[in-house]
């Protein structure tokens, strides 16, 4: 097999990408400390054509050499905004009838594979990912419509926040693709 070149992949320019239709999904980043994790979330959001990222609290914002190191320029292609608190971001989303999902391990959470986003009829979603040590703030968890958990079988109690965000984006993307095909 021959590896694809960048020209074989027919990727859009940043300007063209910004004009294209996006998956109606927002990623809310709740107090994530690692700039590398934030950069990775940007890069994955670009790959799945996420509508936007909301950076909240202590989460760093572009421009930043550390974010750019892992985002590889996706901080220029993905729409983003900053909110001093995650509650402010959630309130804005709710005012636009966005379904708010929390990616967190809580009692009565829904396993990711059992959660089926329905993008028909213009439905939009957001999911919240949290701090690398403490997870999503409990007050934010309580304000969400549903908590989704990624099942795990290993000895560690959680996955890296950027990895978790990527897994969740892929899950939402699969549902979105079914609608588009």
24-28, 131-135, 169-173: which has the minimum mean pLDDT? 131-135
> For the chain, what is the domain count?
1
- pLDDT tens digits, one per residue of 96-148: 999 999 999 999 999 999 999 999 888 999 999 999 899 999 999 999 999 99
Give the model's pLDDT for residue 111.
Answer: 98
Query: Mean pLDDT, to the nearest integer, of 9-27?
Result: 94
Give domain status of residue 115, yes or no. yes
Tokens representing residue 64 in the block: 């930043």
How far is C-alpha 6 from the chain's CA centre?
25
Does residue 172 register a pLDDT over 80? Answer: yes
Give the model's pLDDT for residue 6.
Answer: 80
Give domain status of residue 9, yes or no. no
Give the model's pLDDT for residue 7.
Answer: 86
> Percentage of the chain with pLDDT > 70?
100
Please state, rounded to an integer, the average pLDDT across all residues of the chain: 96
Q: Which residues contact 155 (CB under 8 A, 6 or more apart)?
A: none
Give domain status of residue 161, yes or no. yes
Give domain status of residue 7, yes or no. no
- pLDDT tens digits, one per residue of 27-43: 999 999 999 999 999 99
* Helix (H) or strand (E) segment spanning residue 148: strand 146-149
Instruction: List the domain range (segments joined by +) for residue 148.
Output: 22-180
Q: By the 8 A CB rule, do 118 and 91 touch?
A: no
Give the predicted TM-score (pTM) of the model: 0.96
SS3 state of residue 110: strand
Give domain status of residue 30, yes or no. yes
Question: 52 burial class (0-12, 13-18, 19+ CB within 10 angstroms)?
Answer: middle
Give domain status of residue 64, yes or no. yes
Give domain status of residue 48, yes or no. yes
Report the CATH number that the domain containing residue 49 is assigned in CATH: 3.40.1280.10
Give domain status of residue 158, yes or no. yes
- pLDDT tens digits, one per residue of 66-84: 999 999 999 999 999 999 9
CA-to-CA distance for 98 and 65, rounded, in angstroms?
Answer: 32
What is the DSSP annotation of 13-52? PHHHHHHS--EEEEEEEES---HHHHHHHHHHHHHTTEEE
Give the model's pLDDT for residue 34.
Answer: 97
């Amino acid at each position: 097999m021959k590896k694809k070149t960048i020209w074989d992949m027919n990727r859009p320019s940043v300007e063209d990408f910004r004009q294209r239709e996006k998956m109606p999904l927002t990623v809310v980043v709740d107090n994530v400390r690692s700039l590398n994790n934030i950069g990775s979330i940007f890069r994955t959001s670009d790959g799945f054509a996420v509508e936007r990222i909301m950076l909240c609290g202590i989460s760093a914002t572009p421009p930043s050499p550390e974010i750019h190191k892992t985002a590889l320029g996706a901080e220029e292609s993905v729409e983003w905004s900053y909110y001093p608190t995650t509650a402010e971001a959630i309130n804005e989303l709710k005012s636009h009838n966005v379904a708010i999902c929390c990616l967190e391990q809580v009692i009565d959470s829904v396993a990711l594979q059992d959660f089926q986003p329905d993008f028909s009829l213009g439905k939009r979603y957001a999911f919240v990912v949290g701090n690398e040590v403490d997870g999503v703030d409990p007050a934010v968890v309580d304000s969400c419509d549903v908590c989704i958990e990624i099942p795990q079988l290993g000895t560690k109690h959680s996955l890296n926040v950027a990895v978790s965000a990527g897994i969740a984006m892929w899950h939402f993307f699969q549902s979105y693709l079914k609608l588009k095909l």
